[in-house]
Amino acid sequence: MKKINKILIANRGEIALRIMRTAKRLGINTVAVFSDADRKAPHVLFADEAVYIGASPSRESYLNMDKILAAANETKADAIHPGYGFLSENPLFATAVETAGLIFIGPPASAMIQMGSKIAAKKTARANQVPLVPGTDEAITSYEFALNIARETGFPLLIKASAGGGGKGMRLVDREEELEEQMKMASNEALAAFGDGAVFIEKFVTKPRHIEIQVFCDQHGNGIYLFERECSIQRRHQKIVEEAPSSCLTPEIRKQMGSDAVKLALGCDYVGAGTIEFLVDEQMNYYFLEMNTRLQVEHPVTEMITGLDLVEMQIRIAEGHPLSILQNDLKINGHAIEIRVCAEDPFNDFLPSIGTIETYQIPKGDHVRVDDSYQAGMEIPIEYEPMIGKLIVHGRDRMDAIQKMKAAISEFKITGVETILPFCDFVLSHKDFISGQFDTRFVSLYYDEFKSLYPNAIESEAAAIIALKAYLDELQITRSVKVTGNQWMNTTN
């Protein structure tokens, strides 16, 4: 075992701060890295040391492996924690860290490669007898091959990119005559986004729940699952509201899903924190979707119901310690809900909202947790995803958690930019969410209903867009609001 004395966090924002807080509690020194946009960011000020790594675009800073490794060498760090997003699931980075003689706080590169390709991951799932959505677990090589599979699985079906995620390279096909064109479009989009045009086919589950299992594996061949998270409330295939446990699973299905998740993780020699994502249909059949080989944005709800610090577990496992808890020791305590507080306009198709935060007042209370990285007077940088932070509450049961979250949302005051807080409040108040009878279609089904409740907000939004356009025209800025919004698409699951 090798004790970690100093960790460089190869990330920014709320996740960098969250990792630093645990490290400091454990007596471990921390190193922040920062770009031009983050010179005065809270994670930079909180760290014991900070190193400038480049210009604001992530390819020149947070995605630059050489600069991050140089910063680790300069500060004599023992280990690097990648957080999520950026380089967190890059096997080349994991290998480079270890080659430099540092500890990578994450899974081995071999597991990343095996589970990072959806096709390879599906083959691993099949080999370990984990249920799969009907379709292919190999790349589509021709239209004829795709047509045969499509006729076998039936329509509607999904064409999905093997690499990457976030909805890129994904196409829903309702009819046979659409198949060839949609297959080409999915492959081209996947190639442009991920450098890999391989796609595969899955049967489309019409009313799916998106449920994920948190797993941990140590370096000694032990694995456990920390129950599930419900992640079905999504826009653009990105999560908005997450909760633990799910409202739809029975104890028997939970145990079966958890056991399959651990079996799959151990089947690829996994180490550290990982998440196995499943689709669950109306009959409670579940199917392996993909594995995220990192810490998840929504990990706090798991911490709330288990009482465990997942970052501490990551660090101890990276040092070589065996898991300190057995599966039978784990119990679900109450219910937790998290919402992602993003600077997005819920009245304008969730496009990013540019500007400076004028008022920033967070809710407080024993049952409330806010993981954030912003203060009043800070700007939302255009170069990164517009997540201001995460609001998490814990209740004695699901209804108690819902009420506490609604109260916390009402106390969260942010002005200067639009946020998705009004939509989150709408979700928490909706009868389908309260009853637990919802699926991944929630936003598409009820978005118009949400907008109809706020007609004045929509009129104000139209006026704001006209005023902004006039301002941009005056400054002769040619970049459109729509293009800017697309640059900010959230890429973190």
Residue 323 DSSP symbol: P
Q: Please give the single-letter amino acid code of residue 454.
A: Y
Query: 353 near 417, Cβ under 8 Å?
Result: yes
Q: Please give the single-letter amino acid code of residue 386.
A: P
Q: How far is residue 442 CA from its own chain's centroid?
A: 18
Could you give the CA distance from residue 336 to residue 242 in angstroms, rounded to a whole number?
8
Q: List the structure tokens of 14.
A: 């709320």
End-to-end CA distance of the chain: 32
DSSP strands (E only) in 281-386: 286-292, 335-342, 344-345, 351-352, 359-361, 368-372
Q: List the structure tokens of 205.
A: 């589950």
Collapsed DSSP state (helix, strand, coil) of residue 414: strand
Could you give the CA distance from residue 384 to residue 151 in angstroms, rounded to a whole number?
42
Bridge pairing between strands 223-235 and 209-217: antiparallel
Q: 189, 290, 383, 418: which one is catalytic?
A: 290
Closest CA to 69 of 51, 84, 46, 56: 51
Residue 134 DSSP symbol: S
In degrees rounded to 5, what are phi and psi of residue 336? -130, 145
Bridge pairing between strands 351-352 and 359-361: unpaired
Could you give the CA distance from residue 61 to residue 365 in angstroms, rounded to a whole number?
36
Query: Is residue 280 within a helix (H) or strand (E), and if so which, with residue range?
Result: strand 272-280
Query: 72 near 31, Cβ under 8 Å?
Result: yes
Q: Count the neighbouring beta carbons within 10 Å of the beta carbon of residue 332.
A: 15
Could you give the CA distance from residue 226 to residue 238 in angstroms, rounded to a whole number?
22
DSSP strands (E only) in 343-426: 344-345, 351-352, 359-361, 368-372, 387-395, 413-415
Return all residues near 378 (Cβ < 8 A) that are at least 6 apart: 41, 356, 357
Active site residue 290: yes
Collapsed DSSP state (helix, strand, coil) of residue 373: coil
Query: 437 near 381, Cβ under 8 Å?
Result: no
Query: 302 near 196, Cβ under 8 Å?
Result: no
Closest CA to 457 of 484, 418, 485, 431: 418
Closest CA to 64 of 108, 102, 11: 11
Q: Which residues participate in catalysis according to the annotation?
A: 290
